Amino acid sequence: MGWNDNDVDALRRMAGLATPMVLRVAVTLGLPDRLLGRGAFVEELAVELDVAPGALETLLEHLETFGVVERTVTGFETTAFGANLRVGAGNGLNDLLHSDTAGGRGELAFVELAHSIRTGAAAYPYRYGQDFWADLAANPGLRVAFDRQMTNRFHAQIPRIVAGFDWSRFATIVDVGGGQGGLLAAILAAHPRMHGHLVDLEATAADARDTFDARDLGERAQVTAGSFFDPLPAGADAYLLFDILHNWDDEHAHRILSRCAEAVRPEGRVLVIEGIGGVRAGSESDLQMLVIFGGRERRLDEFRTLTAPHGLVLETVTELTDQRCLLEFRLAAG
């Protein structure tokens, strides 16, 4: 069988690693920030960054081909397009691409994708020697970058999540692994009679306290530093798992669900918000969960199978955004 040149070119572009790696190296070197508003010539920039001038020029020339930098009378300079890659741009790209951040390290674990396909296990520990969460625990800078990335990633979706479900049904809600508190703060702000309780590891929990204090929610928002593998604050009306379960294999997901089921009131609910396989999660996201965490984007039947041993019955599915659904579980009758 012959081949179509256009098809071959398309597949070659899809497979090419040069541009993705050029972007990552540029961000890791800090080029978008360094060259923003003040150009630099290759020779001075190479000395400043302690890199090889010829290689740096090749990198910059490739960045120029797709508009990240441009040549000016003062040397190479970051364009308005390239400014999206700078630190503090608020879009999460810098944290995703920088090779010394949690997101960047996670993405580079795709180099070991074959390991995940062979074994069904995460590639991250195969590449770095320990799993993603142990890496964060051992490197506070990675934890900070990860928390910032998650906050930026979900920021635009929070208003739709708050508006797309009747949170007022619950007087009390526990946000399990709730990060820096952005979602819970938005829910509480929209429903002044509600009280919330966030549980996360100590460093992140401290940031959540700051979030609630900054929004004048301190009297209605409690924070506990702890793991969702340990007993949770008991007796709330609802326990929320926002983008939690897909980060874990079934063994660990069972442990998390068991803590929610034992803590929730008999008439309460366990709420799961994340992408659902075949509904609001695609194959790329599924591969990311596998490679980085050893998890996956579960389908509805897989959620039913996962939750049944904990006496949790799927009651409703609400499509909140183009990326996430809310699954509402109740405890099975006695």
Amino acid in position 27: V
Residue 198 has phi, psi (to 5 degrees) of: -105, 135
Q: In what order do the strands lie in the sheet with 312-319?
A: 221-225, 195-200, 172-176, 238-242, 269-274, 325-331, 312-319
Number of Cβ within 10 Å of residue 219's Cβ equals: 8
List phi, psi (to 5°) of 225.
Answer: -85, 120
Q: Give the integer Cα–Cα distance in Å for 174 and 260.
A: 9
| Region of residue 92 (phi > 0: left; psi between -120 and 50: alpha; otherwise: beta) | left
Count how many Cα atoms sit within 13 Å of the Cα of residue 62 in the half-sphere of its side chain: 15
Candidate list 246, 252, 254, 310, residue with the active-site label: 246
C-alpha distances in Å from residue 279, one per residue of 111, 133, 237, 300: 28, 28, 27, 9
* Residue 252 bears catalytic tag: no
Catalytic residues: 246
